[in-house]
């Protein structure tokens, strides 16, 4: 049987993840945790940004207020935040992403920009961005959770973050969850699709949008949160209210009141996925058995968070992949100009720099079609390294300015656009399709 460690390693390799940490609980008891990292000083105890898992905390705070009789879920949010352009949206619809408001706030990309005040957020989002009628269909809205966070702050007379600390983190013993990155945190990174190099992503303070995706945490703290979502806590929220939150309001997306619901084999898991620039996260719990799965990575893309529970529990097959490591930066100039999107006729290939070789990956199938390795004793030149083109030179043809025009290996010509009319195969044979 494949072990948790092997499944985690497969996720790292398939997703090109600089690091990934994960943990599993069985019956509410932590049963395993592990991490894979190609970066130094990252362990299973390192903190990662958890993105939209933050929404589950915001939703619990709203349901606390409901259970206290301070509000009703069918109240319009304008009862408490009258200046918003979405004042008629119900609290229930905001929680379940059924309000019809746009997905993102107007202005700069909020996840990569230090955020401003709620007044500035309201001024920039006057209600004109609505994309559907209330209740018409599921439409995920980060903006809606900005409004819900402000509602919580006004009704509690504290900042959203102060309420999170006092009413959630302290009673649940989640001391490793924070607003800003702690000292021991994974650095946010994105991976260049072709060069396989790492780019730093910003660790922004999202301001008024913080209730939608600001927080940082560890797999251990998130296992505590997952078990709370299954059992409740007398000082936080009852199990009955959490069951209400985990009941889908729409058949299209299986989303309740701030909780996502996914099927894993014959079991139902509730929780949430998360992403921010440089990070992805997954947290799901089977509320009946209290079995839970958490995974955190410092990569902008590469992980399917909704599939993590199935893969780590062995219900779904783990991807077949070797351990991934990033390329050294900077990539040599003679290599960099070969990378990117190329076409053989109409067929698209991605040329990547992996382990000292240039790989031509068929973008239809994702499989490596050709592998070009450095030519012995000829710096900057490559030859085919496998099967049909083994030993054949990869020729680089340039225009009068020195810019790479096409690549050719044994009359197979790769161009930047399909059937580039400027290109002829050496020897005078025109590229297929050329008039």
pLDDT tens digits along 236-259: 999 999 999 999 997 677 999 999
Q: For residue 109, give every residue at least 6 positions away whose Cβ sits within 8 Å of its Cβ, in sequence order, or none.
A: none
Residue 318 lies in a domain: no
Residues above pLDDT 70, as percent of the chain:
97
CATH code: domain of residue 284: 3.40.710.10
Q: What is the mean pLDDT of residues 289-312?
A: 97
Residue 204 and residue 118 share a domain: yes
Residue 219 and residue 100 share a domain: yes
**51-60, 153-162, 241-250, 425-434: least confident range:** 425-434
Rounded to whole angstroms, what are the CA distances from 373 to 335, 360, 393?
11, 11, 10
Domain range for 419: 333-430
Q: What is the mean pLDDT of residues 14-43?
A: 97
Q: Please, which pLDDT band fits residue 175 given cuts at 50, 70 and 90?
A: very high
Q: What is the mean pLDDT of residues 140-145?
A: 97
**13-22, 194-203, 277-286, 373-382: least confident range:** 373-382
How many Cβ atoms from other residues are within 10 Å of residue 38's Cβ? 15
Tell me the angle at which helices 53-67 and 219-231 cross, rounded to the nearest 10 degrees: 40
Q: Please, which pLDDT band fits residue 107 given cuts at 50, 70 and 90?
A: confident
Residue 293 and residue 346 share a domain: no
CATH code: domain of residue 340: 2.40.128
What is the separation, in whole angstroms, between the first and last Cα of the chain? 58
Residue 214 and residue 175 share a domain: yes
Q: Of 281, 312, 343, which residue constitutes the final position of a domain?
A: 312
Residue 414 lies in a domain: yes
> Residue 320 — φ and ψ, nearest 5°?
-90, 110
- Rounded mean pLDDT of the chain? 94
pLDDT of residue 426: 53
Residue 323 lies in a domain: no
Residue 426 lies in a domain: yes
Tokens describing residue 29: 């008891």
pLDDT of residue 433: 41
How many Cβ atoms from other residues are within 10 Å of residue 295's Cβ? 27
Burial class (CB in 10 A: 0-12, 13-18, 19+), 265: exposed
On the question of pLDDT at 423 being above 90, the answer is no
Residues 223, 184 contacting (CB under 8 angstroms): no
Residue 79 lies in a domain: yes
pLDDT of residue 1: 53
Query: How many domains are contained in the chain?
Result: 2
Residue 201 and residue 103 share a domain: yes
- Residue (of 78, 327, 310, 44) closest to 198 by Cα position: 327
Residue 100 lies in a domain: yes
Prediction pTM value: 0.93
Residue 136 lies in a domain: yes
Residue 91 and residue 225 share a domain: yes
Q: Please, which pLDDT band fits residue 424 given cuts at 50, 70 and 90?
A: low
pLDDT of residue 422: 82
Residue 339 and residue 308 share a domain: no
Residue 325 lies in a domain: no
Q: Please, which pLDDT band fits residue 229 given cuts at 50, 70 and 90?
A: very high
pLDDT of residue 180: 98
pLDDT of residue 2: 74
**59-63, 68-72, 106-110, 283-287: least confident range:** 106-110
Q: Please, which pLDDT band fits residue 434 given cuts at 50, 70 and 90?
A: very low
Residue 243 and residue 167 share a domain: yes
Residue 371 and residue 258 share a domain: no
- Residue (of 304, 256, 255, 264) closest to 285 by Cα position: 264
Residue 380 and residue 264 share a domain: no
On the question of pLDDT at 306 being above 50, the answer is yes
On the question of pLDDT at 432 being above 50, the answer is no
CA 254 vs. chain centroid, Å, equals 19
Q: Of 283, 312, 341, which residue constitutes the final position of a domain?
A: 312
pLDDT of residue 425: 56
Residue 372 and residue 410 share a domain: yes
On the question of pLDDT at 395 being above 70, the answer is yes
Q: Please, which pLDDT band fits residue 429 given cuts at 50, 70 and 90?
A: very low
Residue 351 and residue 235 share a domain: no
Rounded to whole angstroms, what are the CA distances from 376 to 175, 294, 372?
56, 46, 12
On the question of pLDDT at 305 being above 90, the answer is yes
């Amino acid at each position: 049987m494949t072990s948790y460690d092997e499944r985690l390693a497969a996720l790292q390799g398939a997703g090109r993840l600089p690091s990934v940490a994960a943990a599993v609980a069985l019956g509410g008891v932590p049963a395993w945790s592990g991490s894979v990292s190609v970066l130094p000083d990252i362990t299973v105890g390192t903190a990662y940004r958890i993105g939209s898992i933050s929404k589950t905390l915001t939703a619990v705070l709203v349901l606390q207020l409901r259970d206290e009789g301070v509000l009703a879920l069918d109240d319009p949010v304008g009862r408490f935040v009258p200046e918003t352009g979405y004042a008629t949206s119900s609290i229930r619809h905001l929680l379940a992403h059924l309000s019809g408001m746009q997905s993102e706030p107007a202005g700069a990309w909020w996840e990569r920009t230090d955020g401003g005040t709620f007044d500035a957020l309201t001024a920039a989002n006057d209600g004109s961005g609505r994309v559907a009628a209330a209740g018409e269909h599921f439409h995920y809205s980060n903006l809606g959770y900005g409004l819900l966070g402000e509602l919580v702050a006004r009704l509690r007379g504290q900042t959203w973050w102060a309420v999170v600390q006092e009413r959630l983190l302290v009673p649940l013993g989640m001391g490793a969850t924070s607003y800003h990155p702690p000292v021991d945190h994974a650095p946010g990174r994105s991976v260049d699709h072709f060069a396989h190099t790492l780019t730093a992503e910003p660790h922004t303070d999202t301001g008024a949008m913080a209730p939608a995706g600001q927080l940082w945490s560890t797999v251990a703290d998130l296992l505590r949160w997952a078990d709370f979502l299954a059992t409740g806590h007398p000082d936080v929220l009852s199990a009955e209210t959490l069951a209400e939150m985990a009941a889908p309001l729409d058949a299209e997306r299986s989303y309740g009141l701030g909780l996502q619901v996914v099927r894993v084999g014959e079991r139902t898991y509730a929780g949430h996925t998360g992403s921010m620039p440089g990070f992805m996260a997954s947290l799901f719990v089977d509320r009946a058995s209290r079995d839970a799965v958490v995974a955190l990575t410092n990569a902008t893309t590469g992980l399917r968070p909704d599939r993590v529970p199935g893969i780590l529990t062995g219900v779904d097959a783990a991807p077949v992949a070797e351990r991934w490591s990033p390329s050294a930066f900077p990539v040599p100039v003679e290599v960099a100009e070969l990378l990117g999107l190329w076409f053989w006729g109409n067929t698209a290939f991605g040329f990547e720099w992996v382990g000292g070789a240039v790989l031509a990956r068929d973008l239809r199938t994702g499989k490596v079609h050709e592998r070009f390795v450095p030519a012995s004793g000829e710096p900057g030149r490559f030859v085919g390294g496998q099967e049909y083109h083994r030993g054949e030179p990869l020729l680089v043809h340039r225009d009068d300015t020195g810019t790479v025009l096409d690549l050719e290996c044994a009359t197979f010509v790769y161009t930047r656009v399909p059937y580039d009319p400027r290109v002829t195969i050496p020897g005078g044979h025109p590229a297929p399709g050329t008039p």
